[in-house]
């Protein structure tokens, strides 16, 4: 047992907790005891000073009035006041000395002018004026004061409490009570020693008890580990001999029951696993198997992911509680009634891609006949006695969302392509028919029509070229023989080709291209098309008098191409879709400028084919910036 790592981990943790708790509790208790002791000392000084003030006040009051009342010549002799005053002062001194001995403190009575008239440890005649003592100054302003300082008379550190005595807002004098700080420090040290001794005793007792309880707790767990290891090796005869009660004893007994039934359970699990192996063999789709009570007995991870379920929590649960999809439940009910195969489809729309799942439900029977479940739904009218008894059903879920999305994209592509192709063809046909029908058409009009036909044919050619390019890129059949290519040369060539259109439209073309080689691994023709499309797009949508800048550099270890214009800009709501095929923000303006709606889609495809990306930053009436990032060639 002493070699058990669990025991030493528990015991070490227990000791750490005990020592930490002892230190924390000891510090807190020591601080609290010290604070309480100081409070008691302050309270004791306050009580003593109040009592001393009550004793001294009559004398101070007489002293304040004039030390004694003015005698009349008839009643007292001339020497009576002095004799009475000295007698009262001597009596007060004796009283204060006696009180000082009984209370174990030093008591001092001081007049308003600072003269000491009584003290429990020194003769007032030998004491100097106390009017400038710190405690007397503070008491004069605040009413009372507590100060710790070195006593000039006794030459030791003392704690003083001075109390101001007043009558009708007139200061009569002060009383002062003091104790040596050495006595207070001795008491506090003794209290701290008692606390430390008690905490140490408690820690030692707790450590001894911790050893016992850690051993009592870890011993059955160690035995369980040994038995579990034996069972894992196929020895089902081992048992745990634990006499403890409570959770540990209950766990040990449950462990023994588990060991007794493990062999039987293993046989059942093997049978179920073989049946599942036959069902799931070759299945890559989501599969759910239910029993005759429609409880889920098996579900693979693909089905759990499609339905948002947890494989661990839905086993042996009714399928209608775990799967809240009407199409699946309806198909299951129909399959059970017909004892056949039911096929249906589930479609869910979302802000992203739609989810489309083909659902197949087939019942399972315990008959040896292979036609237990027949796909002939017309035979569902047969009586149940003509069919094998059902032992459950299998639900197969085939996610065709991607196929459906591709089909939708294909339909949209065909529709958009047909529409874009039809527009120039219709224009060419209409213009040509007009020329053919009007033999007497003026030469100027004829040349104008022929020019329009030529422009439409160029648009048609550009559209067909872009369609072929994007089809080649997206099909993955384009040539992948990339080689190191200097992107700076291609960029300069594209900028030079764009100079003439910029002059024609009165646009300022600014180039900032690195003089160093910027090699990327790619196709020169495709990269040239990428740059040409971005520059051409900037020229089309920048009004006369604007500017276009082309910047190429190396940024963060990658080639960075930035094409910026001062054009009309793009609304933020359109920026996310600007790279879609045939997507145009202003279709009328785009057709007027000869845009096919495929240029930016081609740019994105080329960038991604080269392992890069393209980003857009645009503001309405300010301009647009396209940034293309491409990885450098390894020999850059």
Strands (E) across 312-413 are located at 341-348, 355-365, 390-399
SS (H, E, C) 478-534: CCCCCEEEEHHHHHHHHHHHHHHHHHHCCCEEEEEECCCCCEEEECHHHHHHHHHHH
R_g over Cα of the chain: 51
- The reported pLDDT for the residue numbered 629 is 95
Identical fold between 282-399 and 405-475: no
Question: Which CATH architecture is the domain 405-475 placed in?
Answer: Orthogonal Bundle (1.10)
User: What six digits make up the tokens of 154?
Assistant: 């006794």
And the tokens for 207?
């450590």
Rounded to an integer, what distance in angstroms lies between the CA atom of residue 36 and that of residue 213? 37
Does the global pTM surpass 0.75? no
At residue 624, the pLDDT reads 92
pLDDT at residue 508, as a whole number: 93
pLDDT digits (tens, 9 = 90+) for 124-168: 888 888 888 888 888 888 888 888 877 766 667 778 888 888 888
CATH number of 483-631: 3.30.565.10
CA–CA dist 340, 276 (Å, integer): 20
- Positive or negative, the CA dihedral 21, 26, 32, 35 is negative
pLDDT digits (tens, 9 = 90+) for 362-396: 888 765 444 444 444 344 444 444 444 678 888 88
The pLDDT assigned to 240 comes to 73
Class assignment of domain 5-186?
Answer: alpha beta
Q: Where are the domains of the chain?
A: 5-186, 236-281, 282-399, 405-475, 483-631
* 282-399: in CATH 3.30.450.20: yes
User: What are the average pLDDT values for consecutive 10-residue runs of the chain, which has 636 residues?
Assistant: 63 76 78 78 84 82 55 40 60 83 85 86 84 86 84 73 85 86 74 78 80 73 76 73 71 78 76 72 74 85 82 85 86 86 83 78 67 42 47 86 74 67 80 83 85 79 70 60 88 91 91 90 87 89 92 91 91 78 55 61 86 91 92 78
CA 453 to CA 462: how far, in whole Å? 14
From 306, 299, 396, select the one nearest 343 (Cα to Cα): 396
Counted residue by residue, the chain has a size of: 636
């Amino acid at each position: 047992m002493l070699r058990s790592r669990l025991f030493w981990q528990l015991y070490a943790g227990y000791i750490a907790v005990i020592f930490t708790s002892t230190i924390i509790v000891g510090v807190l208790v020591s601080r609290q005891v010290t604070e309480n002791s100081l409070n008691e000392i302050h309270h004791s000084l306050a009580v003593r000073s109040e009592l001393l003030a009550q004793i001294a006040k009559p004398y101070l009051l007489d002293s304040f009035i004039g030390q004694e009342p003015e005698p009349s010549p008839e009643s007292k002799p001339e020497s009576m006041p002095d004799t009475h005053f000295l007698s009262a002062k001597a009596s007060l001194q004796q009283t204060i000395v006696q009180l000082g001995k009984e209370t174990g403190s030093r008591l001092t009575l001081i007049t308003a002018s600072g003269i000491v008239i009584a003290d429990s440890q020194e003769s007032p005649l030998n004491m100097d004026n106390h009017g400038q003592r710190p405690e007397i100054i503070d008491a004069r302003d605040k009413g009372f004061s507590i100060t710790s300082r070195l006593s000039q008379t006794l030459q030791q550190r003392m704690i003083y409490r001075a109390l101001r005595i007043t009558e009708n807002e007139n200061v009569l004098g002060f009383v002062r009570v003091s104790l040596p700080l050495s006595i207070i420090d001795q008491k506090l040290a003794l209290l701290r020693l008692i606390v430390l001794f008690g905490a140490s005793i408690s820690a030692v007792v707790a450590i001894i008890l911790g050893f016992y309880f850690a051993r009592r707790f870890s011993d059955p767990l160690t035995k369980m580990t040994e038995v579990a290891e034996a069972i894992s090796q196929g020895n089902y005869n081992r048992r745990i001999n634990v006499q403890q009660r409570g959770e540990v004893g209950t766990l040990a007994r449950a462990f023994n029951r588990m060991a007794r039934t493990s062999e039987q359970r293993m046989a059942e699990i093997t049978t179920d696993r073989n049946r599942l192996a036959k069902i799931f063999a070759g299945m890559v789709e989501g599969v759910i198997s239910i029993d005759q009570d429609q409880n889920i007995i098996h579900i693979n991870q693909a089905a759990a992911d499609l339905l948002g379920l947890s494989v661990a929590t839905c086993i042996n649960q009714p399928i209608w509680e775990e799967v809240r999809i009407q199409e699946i439940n309806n198909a299951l009910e129909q399959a059970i009634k017909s004892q056949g195969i039911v096929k249906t489809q589930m479609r869910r729309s979302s802000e992203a891609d739609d989810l489309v799942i083909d659902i197949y439900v087939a019942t399972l029977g315990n008959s040896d006949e292979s036609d237990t479940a027949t796909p002939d739904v017309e035979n569902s009218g047969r009586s149940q006695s003509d069919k094998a008894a059902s032992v459950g059903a299998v639900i197969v879920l085939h996610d065709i969302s991607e196929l459906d999305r591709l089909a939708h994209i294909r339909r949209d592509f065909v529709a958009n392509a047909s529409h874009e192709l039809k527009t120039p063809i219709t224009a060419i046909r209409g213009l040509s028919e007009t020329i053919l029908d009007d033999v007497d058409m003026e030469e100027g009009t004829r040349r104008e029509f022929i020019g329009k036909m030529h422009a439409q044919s160029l648009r048609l050619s550009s559209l067909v070229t872009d369609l072929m390019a994007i089809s080649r890129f997206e099909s993955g059949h384009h040539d992948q023989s990339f080689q190191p290519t200097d992107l700076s040369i291609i960029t300069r060539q594209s900028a030079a080709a764009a100079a003439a259109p910029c002059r024609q439209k009165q646009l300022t073309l600014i180039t900032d291209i690195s003089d160093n080689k910027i090699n990327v691994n790619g196709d020169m023709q495709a990269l040239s098309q990428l740059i040409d499309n971005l520059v051409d797009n900037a020229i089309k949508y920048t009004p006369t008098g604007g500017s276009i800048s082309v910047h190429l550099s190396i940024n963060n270890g990658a080639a960075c191409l930035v094409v910026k214009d001062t054009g009309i800009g793009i609304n933020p709501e359109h920026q996310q879709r600007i790279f879609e095929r045939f997507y145009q923000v202003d279709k009328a303006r785009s057709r007027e400028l000869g845009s096919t709606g495929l240029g930016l889609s081609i740019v994105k495809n080329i960038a991604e084919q080269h392992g890069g990306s393209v980003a857009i930053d645009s503001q309405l009436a300010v301009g647009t910036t396209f940034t293309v990032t491409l990885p450098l060639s390894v020999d850059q």
